[in-house]
């Protein structure tokens, strides 16, 4: 069983590495295409923002998650209420 578990961990790590490599390759191709389009149209000021956008993709993804959560909480059929943290010996567990 341990051998199967180790094999699964190895496969999972390989999958995530290949996925990350693929994402980098896709972003590189998209960036190159955008840069060529901006050069051909004379919009080099737009192309200068590309490195900034590439570096901030994690921040943009996190912001997307927060905005989606806010949308769901705001449009929920019952109002969202912030949980109250109590000590471990009090309160009712449902």
Mean pLDDT on 66-80:
88
Decide if 21 is inside a domain: yes
Decide if 28 is inside a domain: yes
What is the residue range of 36's domain?
Answer: 2-74
The tokens of 72 are what? 């769901």
Decide if 86 is inside a domain: no
Decide if 6 is inside a domain: yes
Decide if 85 is inside a domain: no
Cβ atoms within 10 Å, residue 31? 15
pLDDT of 68 reads: 92
pLDDT of 67 reads: 92
Decide if 41 is inside a domain: yes
Its pTM surpasses 0.75: no
The full DSSP string for the chain is -HHHHHHHHHHHHHHHHHHHHHHHHHHHHHHHHHHHHHHHHT-HHHHTTHHHHHHTHHHHHHHHHHHHHHHHHHT-SS---PPPP--TTSS---
Decide if 61 is inside a domain: yes
Average pLDDT value over all residues in the chain: 79
Count: domains in the chain: 1
For residue range 25-68, list pLDDT tens digits in order: 877 777 777 767 766 666 656 666 667 777 777 788 888 999 99
């Amino acid at each position: 069983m341990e051998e199967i578990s180790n094999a699964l961990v190895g496969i999972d790590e390989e999958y995530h590495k290949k996925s990350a490599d693929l994402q980098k390759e896709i972003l590189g191709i998209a960036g190159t295409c955008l840069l060529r389009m901006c050069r051909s149209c004379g919009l080099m000021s737009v192309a200068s923002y590309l490195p900034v956008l590439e570096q901030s993709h994690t921040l943009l993804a996190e912001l997307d998650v927060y905005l989606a959560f806010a949308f769901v909480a705001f449009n929920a059929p019952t109002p969202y209420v912030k949980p109250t943290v109590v000590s471990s010996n009090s309160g009712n567990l449902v």
